[in-house]
Structure 1
Amino acid sequence: MTEQFLTPPHHPGQVVRCVDAARTFGHGDTAVVAVHGCTCEVSAGARIAITGPSGSGKSTLLHLLAGLEAPTSGEVSWPSFGSTAVERSRDIAVVFQGPSLLPALDVLENTMMAAVLTGTDEATAKERALAALEIVGVAALVNQLPETLSGGQAQRVAVARALTLRPRLLLADEPTGQLDATTGRHVINVLFKAADEAGAALVITTHDQAVGDRFDEQWEMRDGRLFTPVKGELL
């Protein structure tokens, strides 16, 4: 029997929290503070856009939320997730800005990959991948290689790959940054649908205010500092 793509149970409360978290790259005179101490939280089911110009620290903050970067000072925690990085990797999925599909693998294999690498058996990973590709609207492309895909199609596959993890936190770094406006709107639609299907909180970074305006909540990064967009106060 084909596995149904069921929404996981609802988990109330915070999925990730930063307390005075900062990230510095380099040392001494060459050190660059990408994110100054910020305090924020993402709740289950949240829809958040982190806006701001290039170089403002948006991607670094997203990487802190994902656990891909460790804070230089302060703390990042995932209150309702597992206590280890391996356990969290099953709850957090990231869609990256640039090309992220492996060129030697076809669409189905690329989509299965994240689930397989986090311990899902191959048969189950295949069923999840096929269901996810259907959700994002590219099921007809299962046998194609990445080089044959448009930018929008490749991003949809990347979203499908993330969805196979059944994430409770879905993060996307400038998912429309390399796309035209029409394709970008479609990709954001896909991300909303994917988050709804997975029952996941969704956080993206974007320098496009029109994209940010589609989200329930907006955070703004300026020179590595996190501000609320309405009150103009540091979070």
Structure 2
Amino acid sequence: MPPDEVLVACQDAALTFGEGPQAVVAVHGTTLEIGTDDRLAVVGPSGSGKSSLLHLLAGLEQPTSGMVTRSASLGPYDIGLIFQGDSLIPALSVVENAALPLVLAGRSEREARQAALAALDLVGAADLADRLPEEISGGQAQRVAAARVLAQAPRLILADEPTGRLDHATGAHVLDALLAAADHIGAALVVTTHDPGVAARLSVRRSMHDGRLLAPEEVS
């Protein structure tokens, strides 16, 4: 694939919830392109619209005005979203949760389990493989959610506050794994965070306030 391929593009895309006086604008008109080599941090406080922007990029929400377009080369599992909140299926073990996207994509259970175990090892959670979500902490669940996305080897990784529930050392380890995996599989990486230290690890930073994405700050 060409190194400068645009995977997802927003053209004056906005997202509003509700109507009339009760309407809330989560994302104001945003123009943004995510290319195959991008490492982008979107920085801002809770409620600034970061999660809504990721949902637009992922296709979980449709813009109420403007456009979001995705490359025709992207398959159904080529965009991986690491959710900020709880996203594990309670009835499945940790490794089954991590393997689920691969099983849904048609991989054999054996292959899916091997890939899931490798991804869990990347984020330091291999020892949790046979536990149920109720048996692990919130921070551990966040690592498993990251492993679930890494196991599917997407071309675009969208990570919503992936270190927000982790201590500093564990958060740094998970971010190391995301960056290394993105480099290894040739994926673009977009991380939302309120932590300047996390943002500093990515090559481009953009701030978001009150639903508005500000101009980029490139890191040399």
TM-score by length of 2: 0.90
Equivalent of residue 34 in structure 1, options 26, 34, 51: 26
Percentage identity across paired residues of the two chains: 56
Post-superposition shift, 1:191? 1.6
Alignment gaps of 5+ in structure 2: none
Equivalent of residue 184 in structure 2, options 177, 180, 197: 197
Equivalent of residue 127 in structure 1, options 101, 110, 114: 114
Q: 1:165 & 1:12 partners in 2: Cα distance?
A: 22
Q: For 1:176-201, what per-residue CA distance to the aligned partner results, in whole angstroms no more than 9, with x for missing partners?
A: 22223232222212221232233211
User: Which amino acid is 1:161 matched to?
Assistant: R
The 5-angstrom pairing of residues 90-101 of structure 1 reads 90-101=77-88
Equivalent of residue 186 in structure 1, options 156, 161, 173: 173
Between Structure 1 and Structure 2, how many residues are aligned? 218
Q: 2:133 & 2:47 partners in 1: Cα distance?
A: 29
Q: 1:205 & 1:222 partners in 2: Cα distance?
A: 12
Distance 1:156 1:193, change over 3 A: farther
Post-superposition shift, 1:139? 2.4
User: Which amino acid is 1:44 matched to?
Assistant: T
Q: 8 Å contact 2:101–2:152 — kept in the other structure?
A: yes
Q: 1:125 & 1:111 partners in 2: Cα distance?
A: 8
Q: 8 Å contact 2:123–2:173 — kept in the other structure?
A: no
Post-superposition shift, 1:165? 1.8
Equivalent of residue 92 in structure 2, options 91, 96, 105: 105
Distance 1:111 1:49, change over 3 A: same
TM-score by length of 1: 0.85
Q: 1:70 & 1:202 partners in 2: Cα distance?
A: 21
Q: CA RMSD in A?
A: 2.0
The 5-angstrom pairing of residues 143-182 of structure 1 reads 143-182=130-169
The 5-angstrom pairing of residues 4-43 of structure 1 reads 12-43=4-35
